[in-house]
Structure 1
Amino acid sequence: MSNPDSFIEEVTEEVRRDRLFGLFRKYGWIGLVAILALVGGTAWTEWQKSRDTARAQAFGDALIDALDHGLPEERREALAAVPVRGQQAAILNLILGSDTAGDKAAALAALDAVAGDPTLSPAYRDLAVLRRVLLGGADLPLADRRAALDGIAQVGRPYRTLAVEQLAYLLIEEGKPDEAIATLTTLMQDQEASAALRARAGQVITALGGALPEASDGG
């Protein structure tokens, strides 16, 4: 004779299996969609990475080709024709603003476009401000140059030490060598200042007749 309990278990298991298959037939498409979404999302991400890499490479190649032009007018025209997307425009404008052999007014305008774009990171905007002060030079009022440099010489800004160096040079231009020496001396002891910057500061201090700060034991 068959065991009633065993028979009941077999029937119950069969019912469960039928229910499972029924649920799968009814809702199995959800799992299929989830799998397709996962695979499709991964493929989309990889395609975007590949596309962005290709665009960056094409942008770099176009810049190199444009910079190969010997005449400033040809170089600027070629750079202006380079297609850009997103922050590539900032990079292009920074390059245009660094071409001292070209149109100075156009270079300043390119730098203004970067410095005035709030969507860009401070690394782009502050560099444009610094470059604009250097390019403008004495053609820009000293007060305007100081105000621009003060804004990027604050703690935490990416080009703080370079801005402080330029502020020291403005003091020299104003006929305040002692204040310039004090600023440059502090800059030489600044841990964020590069070795090249410290060397420049030391040379200027010496030229102004100042005394170089003593090297620290850890330096």
Structure 2
Amino acid sequence: MANQNDSFFNEVTDELRRDKLFGLFRRYGWIAILVILGIVGGAIWREWSLSRERQEARAWGDAILAAQASGDPAALTKVDPDGSNERKALGTLLAAGEWAESGGTDAAVEAVRTLAEDSESDGVLKELAQLKLVMLTGSSMDAAEKDQILTHLSRTGAPFELLALEQKAIALLEADREEDAITLIRQIQQKEGLSEALRQRLSEMMIVLTGEPESSVPGE
């Protein structure tokens, strides 16, 4: 008899629990449905956005290749003129490179200077334009302007720190400060992260200046 009573009470309890859960679902179930719809909708939107971005990037890349094939560097600056600042900056840098290779130094300098002085330009691309400006203008750039740019670009941890330091050494040589240039080159040679090309250029400068080979790599 006790077992029958226990079974009866258990059934009643289960029914009450189901009724309570059903009542809660009727009252708050719409919230769960909205959450599920939000998750599914968000996933669909994300995939659609990524797909659109890939298509836009592919179309921009194709347009850049077509502009390069045209043989007119100016065409690179006209690709997607209403697009993102980053893409416009990349187009300008590519055009400047084409001009520089074909002997159009003045056009290249004008292009990178415009980008280097653009307050809306992306940080890394803007700094790359500043570095290219220093390299293209060489000794013709105002010494104070060059020093200001290179001081900023060669700060610790900057994306073009080592290349900017190399340009600082070149600027010292242009100013007939050979000993200071040698000291700086040796300091650069002891830094980590030097590319093989940069290491080779520094070594060649040291051989020309002192007859000494490049310094040993840190940690070797």
> 1:82 deviation in Å?
0.9
> 1:14 deviation in Å?
2.7
Alignment partners' CA distance in 2, 1:37 and 1:31 = 10
2:200 paired with 1:203: no
Alignment partners' CA distance in 2, 1:214 and 1:20 = 77
79, 82, 86: which is aligned to 1:82?
79
| Aligned residue number for residue 178 of structure 1 | 179
SS of the equivalent of 2:92 reads helix
Deviation digits for residues 59-118 of structure 1 (CA, Å, limit 9, x no counterpart): 111111111122xxx331x22321122422222222233232447356534444355436
SS of the equivalent of 1:60 reads helix
CA contact (8 A) 1:97 1:111 kept: no
Alignment partners' CA distance in 2, 1:68 and 1:178 = 46
CA contact (8 A) 2:85 2:120 kept: no
Point out the more displaced range, 172-181 or 39-48.
172-181
> 1:126 deviation in Å?
1.9
Alignment partners' CA distance in 1, 2:112 and 2:217 = 42
- Could you state the TM-score of these two structures normalised by the residue count of structure 2? 0.83
| Aligned residue number for residue 149 of structure 2 | 148
118 and 144 in structure 1: CA distance in 2 versus 1, 3 angstrom threshold: same
> 1:200 deviation in Å?
0.7
> 1:167 deviation in Å?
0.8
| Aligned residue number for residue 51 of structure 1 | 52
- Could you state the TM-score of these two structures normalised by the residue count of structure 1? 0.83
Alignment partners' CA distance in 2, 1:217 and 1:80 = 42
CA contact (8 A) 2:139 2:171 kept: no
Alignment partners' CA distance in 2, 1:57 and 1:65 = 12
SS of the equivalent of 2:73 reads helix
| Aligned residue number for residue 96 of structure 2 | 97
Alignment partners' CA distance in 1, 2:9 and 2:43 = 47
CA contact (8 A) 1:96 1:110 kept: no
> 1:9 deviation in Å?
4.3
Alignment partners' CA distance in 2, 1:156 and 1:118 = 22
> 1:173 deviation in Å?
0.8
CA contact (8 A) 2:190 2:215 kept: no
Runs of 4+ in 1 over 6 A off after TM superposition: none
Amino acid at match of 1:23: L
Amino acid at match of 1:147: Q
| Aligned residue number for residue 130 of structure 2 | 129
| CA-atom RMSD in angstroms | 2.7
> 1:155 deviation in Å?
1.0
Alignment partners' CA distance in 1, 2:162 and 2:151 = 11
CA contact (8 A) 1:108 1:135 kept: no
Amino acid at match of 2:169: A
> 1:37 deviation in Å?
0.8
SS of the equivalent of 1:87 reads helix
CA contact (8 A) 2:189 2:217 kept: no
207 and 147 in structure 1: CA distance in 2 versus 1, 3 angstrom threshold: same
Structure 2 unpaired stretches of 5+: none
214 and 161 in structure 1: CA distance in 2 versus 1, 3 angstrom threshold: closer
> 1:50 deviation in Å?
1.2
> 1:144 deviation in Å?
1.4
